[in-house]
Amino acid sequence: MKTEGQGVARAVAEVPPARPEQHFTGLGVSAGIAVGPAHVVERGLIDVPEYRLEADAVETEIARFREAVALSASQIRTLQAKAEALPEEVAGQLRHLLDAHLLMLSGSRLVRGVEARIREARINAEAAVQVQLSEIAQAFAGMEDSYLAGKIDDVREASARLVRNLTRAGYQAFSGLAPGTIIIAEEITPADTALMARARIGGFAAALGGAEGHTAIMARSLGLPAVLGVAGLTGAVRSGDIVAVDGVRGGLVVNPDEATIARLERRRRALERRERQLARLRQVAATSQDGVRVTLQCNIELPDELPLAQEAGAEGIGLLRSEFLYMNRDEPPSEDEQYVALKEIVGGMAGAPVTVRTLDVGSDKLAYSLGEHISPSVNPALGLRAVRLSLRTPALLEAQIAAILRAGAHGPVRILVPMITSVDEIRQVRKAVDKTVRKLTRARVPIADAPPLGVMIETPGAALAADALAGACDFFSLGTNDLTMYTLAIDRGDEQVAHLYDPLHPAVLRLIRFAADAARRARLPLNLCGELAGNPRFTAMLLGLGLRDLSMAPPHLPRVKQRILALDTAQAARHARELLSQSEAGRIARLIDAYQQDA
Ligand code: PEP
Ligand code: MG
């Protein structure tokens, strides 16, 4: 782990724990241990723009403010629903808190005051919230009644939420933090994670979020220790408290004492030693005991991860999640901007292939720059997302394809299309690729020579129609994260059902085998880029199912390679057959563990 040996000692020396240590548990979603000062995101307001409005812009600004109020209220209602699943003592406290926040958003002095200021002072909504909050805070400060004076915290929380929703600024304040800071928040989105510079942020913990959501995936890729779904976290930590994040066991300790820090430090050093040993495998080819060569590639979601993939010895980028290009900005990126970013990555891989996935926003991966194209959906996981959005907005799709084709002039690229469910969709994308090739060729722009076009198999529909899809594309990539979610109807990012999310469910394994068989019959290259690929516990099963190309978060590659070096693929195939004959995920898990021990 790249986290903070010296940081631990330094932070503790500066801010000795003033309160007794408190333990919380959640889902350890990204291995690693970090100790450092907390930065609690829910508190306080972020810097906001201030400007005067023209007279005719006032009503539009009021409408924008009302939208932010409605969005804030709906976010709080979601939190209320989630809080009900917590143990009663925690749920009770949260209920109280969230009710108060909701109240602040309905006809309160805050809301009325902001609207009046927009109308009368003709200032933008964010600035009006700030001014109104200061005025209320001053009035509260003079109150004798400590209960009422305490209510200012609720006004602050509600104001902060309003400003975040108005500015859509996420947590930009990350840039000003001390090295080794641990981010603590109610919720951390993938877009927020994209803002976390590894040199600055030691790790993070949030009350919401599941182990297979994109925030968790990004934490793993970046090697940032993280714990999500921490019950009772909200309100328990103050900025500046020393906190320890144990992403291996899913623990969070607030104000850890010296003995706890020493224990965590010993474990952190042991993890680091193990990583150093594994790093020696970098130059070794991933060949099994019986001589079967396996290709190991990396998934990346940010250009920052490229050096990590190179250090891990990736033989290519098996999945470049292109959403980063669209996040934390107001307008979608131009073709040129995308080209420059992709060219860096393709050039950086020095001749190794880069599989660029077209836009997969929607569900938990929101990009405000696409706001005008995606309206709120009753069920975003099933809504206008990924390829559906791309086909609805041909200009966006063609700009992205053009950028990929142009980057392909600097090294081998493949185009991968997410959330395909029908042959018609991939045919439409191919048409868009052909059209863009013709256009760029006419303009004499250097481009890739016919890059392969692939389909993500990540819905049960795609897996069951794999034979048909095979005839319309050049390769498959198995997205077991979504395949598990859609097969079992379990939200991968929801901590309340995280215990039910199980890629070892017989239905998921059968769909993987079904798609793998279809690929083999059609002689189609097949890769697996879901999180299963990065867990050495499943490597024998995947090789046994016939997979020979795995793509994973960079920190996981050495461990998977080590496992492959010890495996025999004929034995692994027998193991996979046995697993597939089972009817229960629990039994499959036990057989997998027994096989690991025998190996
Ligand atoms: C998947 O669904 O398995 C996948 C690799 O894509 P993502 O995690 O980005 O949805
Ligand atoms: Mg997916």
| DSSP per-residue letters across 323-353 | GGGGSSSSSPPPHHHHHHHHHHHHHHTTTS-
Model confidence pLDDT, tens digit, residues 433-461: 999 999 999 999 999 988 999 999 999 99
User: Which residue spans of the chain are classified as CATH 1.10.274.10?
Assistant: 55-166
Mean pLDDT of 159-169: 80
What distance, in Å, lies between the first and last C-alpha atoms of the chain?
27
Angle between the N-to-C axes of helices 125-141 and 109-120, in degrees from 0 to 180, rounded to the nearest 10: 130
| Whole-number pLDDT of residue 1 | 31
- Ligand 1 pocket residue status of 530, Cβ below 6 Å: yes
pLDDT: which is higher, 319 or 596? 319
pLDDT tier at 200, thresholds 50, 70, 90: confident
Residue 578's Cβ-count burial label (10 Å; 0-12, 13-18, 19+) is: middle
Scanning 354-444, the segments in alpha helix (DSSP H) are 386-392, 394-407, 423-442
Flag whether pLDDT at 44 surpasses 90: no
Quickly tell me which residue has 């980063």 as its tokens: 324
**247 within 8 A of 29, measured Cβ to Cβ:** yes
Amino acid found at 291: G
- CA–CA separation, 122 and 57 (whole Å): 9
Q: In angstroms, what is the span from residue 3 Cα to ligand 2's centroid? A: 29
Ligand 1 pocket check for 482: Cβ under 6 Å: yes
Pocket of ligand 1 contains residue 355 by CB under 6 Å = no
Fold of 8-45+173-262: Glucose Oxidase; domain 1 (3.50.30)
Q: Is the domain covering 55-166 a CATH 3.40.50.720 domain?
A: no
Measured CA to CA, the distance from residue 110 to residue 472 in angstroms comes to 57
Residue labelled with tokens 């406290």: 93
Is the CB–ligand 1 distance for residue 492 below 6 Å? no
381 Cα to the center of ligand 2, angstroms: 10
Handedness of CA 163, 166, 171, 176 (dihedral sign): negative
Catalytic residue, chosen from 39, 214, 556, 575, is 214
Q: Is 458 in the pocket of ligand 1 (CB under 6 A)?
A: yes
For residue 380, is pLDDT > 70? yes
The pTM assigned to this predicted structure is 0.76
Grouping H, G, I as helix, E, B as strand and the rest as coil, residue 506 is: helix
Q: Which ligand ends up closest to the CA of 221?
A: 1
Q: Which of 410, 529, 556, 575 is catalytic?
A: 529
How many angstroms separate the Cα of 357 from the Cα of each of 123, 364, 479?
42, 17, 12
Distance 530 CA to ligand 1 centre (A): 5
Which pair of structure tokens corresponds to residue 457? Answer: 């198999």
For 131-151, the pLDDT digits (tens) are: 898 888 778 767 766 666 667
The token pair at 431 is 């048409």
Beta strands in 350-394 (DSSP E): 354-357
Atom of ligand 1 nearest to the CA of 531: 3
How far does the centroid of ligand 2 lie from the alpha carbon of residue 336, in Å?
26
Atom 8 of ligand 1, residue of closest alpha carbon: 481
Atom of ligand 1 nearest to the CA of 418: 6
Alpha-carbon span 405 to 342, nearest angstrom: 10
Measured from the CA of 481, which atom of ligand 1 is nearest? 3
The residues pairing with 549 across neighbouring beta strands, listed in sequence order, are: 295
Instruction: Please give the pLDDT value at position 480.
Output: 98
- Out of 512, 529, 547, 551, mutate this one to test ligand 1's pocket (max ligand atoms within 8 Å of CB): namely 529
Q: What is the pLDDT of residues 467-497, one digit of tens each?
A: 999 999 999 999 999 999 999 999 988 888 9
Instruction: Compute the distance from residue 581 Cα to the ligand 1 centre, in Å.
Output: 26
242-246 and 251-254 as β-strands: parallel, antiparallel, unpaired? Answer: antiparallel
88, two tokens: 């009663």
HSE (CB half, 13 Å, CA atoms) of 226?
34
**What is the rounded CA–CA span in Å between residue 242 and residue 426?**
51
Pocket test for ligand 1, best of 215, 321, 416 (most atoms within 8 A of CB): 321
Smallest-distance ligand from the CA of 319: 1
Which regions of the chain carry the CATH code 3.20.20.60? 287-598
At 158, list the tokens: 């509600």
Nearest CA to ligand 1 atom 4: 479
Determine if ligand 1 sits within 6 Å of the CB of residue 480. yes
Determine whether the shortest distance from the Cβ of 551 to ligand 1 is under 6 A: no
- 529 catalytically annotated: yes
Average pLDDT over residues 232-252: 90
Topology of the domain covering 287-598: TIM Barrel (3.20.20)
What atom of ligand 1 comes closest to residue 485's alpha carbon?
A: 2
Proximal ligand: closest to the CA of 479: 1
pLDDT at position 65, please?
93
Ligand 1 centroid–CA 51 distance in Å is 41
**Closest approach atom of ligand 1 to CA 301:** 9
Range from 15-29, 38-52, 338-352, 513-527 carrying the lowest mean pLDDT: 38-52
CA 98 to ligand 2 centroid distance, Å = 32
Query: What integer pLDDT is reported at residue 2 of this predicted model?
Result: 32
- The encoded tokens of residue 242 equal 């020393």
Which ligand number lies closest to the CA of residue 323? 1
Q: Kindly give the distance from the C-alpha atom of residue 238 to the centroid of ligand 1, in angstroms, as a whole number.
A: 34
CA distances in angstroms from 381 to 147, 234, 365, listed in the order given: 42, 26, 10
Q: Token pair of 239, please?
A: 């900025």
Question: How high is the pLDDT of residue 146?
Answer: 64
Q: Whose CA is nearest to atom 3 of ligand 1?
A: 479
CB–CB of 492/481 below 8 Å? yes
Is 298 a known active-site residue? no
Index of the ligand 1 atom closest to the CA of residue 479:
3
Closest Cα to atom 6 of ligand 1: 479
Residue 86 pLDDT: 62
Residues 333 and 323: their CA atoms lie apart, in Å, by 11
